Amino acid sequence: MFSFVLQRLVQSVIVVLILSIVLFVGVRLIGNPVDILISSEASEADRLAAIVALGLDKPLWEQYLTFLGNAVRGDWGTSFVYKEPVVGILLQRLPASLELGLVAFVLAVSISIPAGLYAGLRPQSPLGRGIMAFSLVGISIPTFWQGMLLIVAFGIALPILPVGDRGQLATHFGITSSLWTLDGWSHVIMPAFSLALLKMSLLMRVTRAATMEICRLDFVKFAYAKGVRNRKVVIGHILRNALVPLVTVTGIELGNLLAYGVITETVFSWPGLGKLLINSIKVLDRPMIVAQLTYTALLFIAINFLVDILHMAIDPRVKSVLRRRES
């Protein structure tokens, strides 16, 4: 177990270094921020002064080493646009993205797994067919179109839910969040459902497919033949084994919800990291772009690491493979 965790940590560090190089070089290939930040009527002396002030006059390798050394110390640079430390700006926007992503994740998991399990156990029933039809619709409609339909339906035609912003904030236990207030929930529920719909549909289909596959296996048939209660077979045999592929897919989708809510945040004017990334790309704010993309990479690496640990706890076969390797 210890050697497995150590191996994963070493691999994670190598992946982060490679990704940081790719991101740092790639961002510098998409354009020169001076062309956007400095007026076209500025003199050549003013342009050169801006380039020196932003540190863009140094060779690319020297810029990367400076960035890497500062990042290790927790300094991700200063935003070209906001003239503030990047970390501070990200920490201001991070709570909004976490709220939206976590609420969407809870909605997706709490609805999709029971629905997919039922559709897998009773695939020919009217409700099972209806669940699959719903999942097909959820996958087929683009995220931005879902958001626009929800805004028109519940924000304009039936103005029962507000659109935009996080709503009223409150602080409890040292945590400031809009989820502490009813007004905050009224603001988050519509964008969260829009963000969760695609993931919900995907998890429904994965759960149904895994359930139907496991129901055909001999140990499930043997359990029924022994007279084991249906509830115990479903929970202890079918659902537990279906969790093996579900954990992987759910982990990936959690990372997507927390990191890639760009379209939803833009459509609903949600003040999170996704909207900040779009604005940063428009003005080529290099430190902000690199910091956000690196955060996304670190998030996925951390989630994949946790998924590997969960696989060991859920699937005994993984433990046996690791024991054979260690011996």
What does the pLDDT look like over 16-42, one tens digit per residue? 888 888 887 877 777 666 666 676 666
List phi, psi (to 5°) of 156.
-120, -60
Handedness of CA 287, 293, 295, 298 (dihedral sign): negative
pLDDT of residue 115: 92
List phi, psi (to 5°) of 33.
-65, -20
The answer to whether 100 and 241 have CB atoms below 8 angstroms apart is no
What are the CA-CA distances from residue 118 to residues 131, 210, 233, 238 (Å)?
A: 9, 12, 14, 11
Residue-wise pLDDT tens digits, 54-69: 677 777 778 788 878 8
% of the chain exceeding 90 in pLDDT: 5
Q: What amino acid is encoded at 297 in this protein? A: A
Is residue 53 over pLDDT 80? no
Q: Which two tokens stand for residue 57?
A: 């006059």
CA angle 91, 279, 89 (to 5 degrees): 15
Q: What amino acid is encoded at 117 in this protein? A: L
Is residue 152 over pLDDT 60? yes
Q: Which two tokens stand for residue 262?
A: 């760009």
In sequence order, which residues have a C-beta less than 8 Å from that of residue 244 and are 6 or more positions away?
A: 210, 311, 314, 315
All domains in the chain, ordered by first residue: 86-300 (1.10.3720.10)
The answer to whether 108 and 200 have CB atoms below 8 angstroms apart is yes
Number of neighbours of residue 259 by Cβ within 10 angstroms: 22
pTM assigned to the model:
0.79
pLDDT of residue 36: 64
Query: Greater confidence, 164 or 104?
Result: 104
pLDDT of residue 282: 80
231: Cα separation from own chain's centroid: 33
